[in-house]
Structure 1
């Protein structure tokens, strides 16, 4: 390489790498496409959530996009458990992707030709009413993923006549579109989160969310209520509360929490201090803008000014200042 070529190469910016559940055409890829700073960078497809997060922890990837919650099926347990047990991770953004499915076949296929349908079991369950109405005599072949159901047709490794797949599959493979919007729930949405190594939270926007994982100190009556009071007494609404087994013995659970607000909000910071005193294990996953950009509303008595004034009042008492009337 000449010195001139080396100088040009050295001057070119280093492209960041983003891991996502592949291959191309998945809902996860559609979520990553919503990230402005990921455009024009290297997108690295992986096989599972663990591989994606390991890329981040090891430094092989700048960040990873993973599914965390579905409006029909609830929380994605593999993702929640991974975030609870793998140290050194932060959620830096969330993105919503409508769960819309299409039915595809090999070129030249028609609906009348379809008797055997390949689909991931979850996708199949979410399209079962449509399939029953439209193809009442069909049979189902389980597929490893939403994309694998379709690529099996292209590669000739599947005996199916058609496949249920994400709409993005048509951008990557030559397939016949047999039907669109075949999901039984038109409002189905999957929530994805972009995960990086620990960084300072972005400034609050007023439409923010804070994600945590909290363990109870022991099993006793009212233990969960005591944890929830850390939020309720500070006017903080929870948009997600899910339990996951810790795994060391029966009856031991950790709680996955999404709380409305930002760590820079006085009420949220105070709640985190309360949780830290209460729980043996609090995992702060991050404060970040809500995907729906819905402004967080709360009563005036929980405004930042109220918390600041109360602390100033206490400092005055400790220092011997006259109690203001």
Structure 2
């Protein structure tokens, strides 16, 4: 009998250690005890999946304050052979950190303070910084961890950095203040992406993600796209436009719809969308992070769609009572 241990799986994520993406990956039960591969950007994480260097990749897809992550949306729309299999929510909390031994009073007393931070993080902490350290300037960092690392190693000429709370677990920094973000309810939504696989089984609390293009730029085209969902009782929790890039005025639409592809109403909507749109990219059906059950009127239930199809078959077959 073989005693060989099963091969460990690799999960790519935006690194280094201590990022919000790592915190999202920590929520995936099947990723625990596996190999976590930090990468420098979303494209590299997804390329690891396509190139079979990683079983899956964790990427940020949407922020409750800043909206959709355009680089992730564009990559999912254009790189073939990818599927979203789960979503995870991470509260966005920021800490102000400095080299060991530094105090907040010392920072406030300076004539000018240089703050390292990722542009999105800096924008979400601007009000707090304006109140506590009004005499500051911002220097851009590549990530919430890179801001602290650059401050420590001198590659960024900064006295303090805005960083994710987890940075203190991996680097020798002084935490000057916690929860310095301006929006206490801010969260980031992450998705776990694999190669093409069958969707997870429906749970009743599911979401379907896809990307679709309009057939042409004319009045009512977007309305017709949306009617594929509204006439079947499907709520859209996300609708964002992204430029296709081949000409001005040409857009694709990133869509999150409540429900699972195996639901009769969702399947019917996707078939209608396929007939309407020149390009539909199915990104996956997967459990919602909040596990909120999707409710719909009875006329949009699976039984209603099955009964309607059976009624039509009876009409075509000339069955009595049809």
Return the TM-score normalized by structure 1.
0.95
Aligned match of 1:19 in 12, 28, 31?
A: 12
The answer to whether the aligner puts 1:139 opposite 2:132 as a matched pair is: no
Check whether the contact 1:113–1:161 (CA below 8 A) recurs between aligned residues: no
Structure 1 counterpart of 2:75, from 82, 91, 109: 82
Residues 248-303 of structure 1: CA deviation (Å, up to 9, x unaligned): 11111100000000001100000011011111111000000000111111111101
CA offsets per residue over residues 213-266 of structure 1, 9 Å max, x none? 001111111000011100000000000000011111111110000000000110
Asked whether 1:215 is paired with 2:213, we answer: yes
The match for 1:201 among 199, 202, 218 is 199
**What is the correspondence of 1:1-325 to structure 2 with a 5 Å cutoff?**
11-114=4-107, 115-324=113-322
Deviation track 1:128-167 (CA, whole Å, cap 9, x = no partner) reads: 1111111122222222221111012332333321110000
Query: Secondary structure of the equivalent of 1:287?
Result: strand
Root-mean-square deviation (CA), in Å? 1.2
Alpha-carbon contact 1:106-1:154 (below 8 Å) kept: yes
Separation of aligned partners in 2, 1:83 and 1:69: 13
Q: Quote the offset at 1:100 in angstroms.
A: 0.5
Structure 1 runs (4+) deviating above 6 angstroms are none
Paired residue secondary structure (1:228): helix
Once the two structures are TM-superposed, the CA of residue 187 in structure 1 deviates from its matched residue by: 0.9
Partner of 2:110: none
The offset of 1:176, in angstroms, is 0.7
Q: For structure 2, which runs of at least 5 residues remain unmatched after alignment?
A: 108-112
1:31-55 Cα deviation digits (max 9, x unpaired):
1000000000000011111111110
> Which runs of no fewer than 5 residues in structure 1 stay unpaired?
1-6
Deviation track 1:181-208 (CA, whole Å, cap 9, x = no partner) reads 0000111111100000011111111110
Instruction: For residue 121 of structure 1, report the CA deviation from its aligned partner.
Output: 1.7
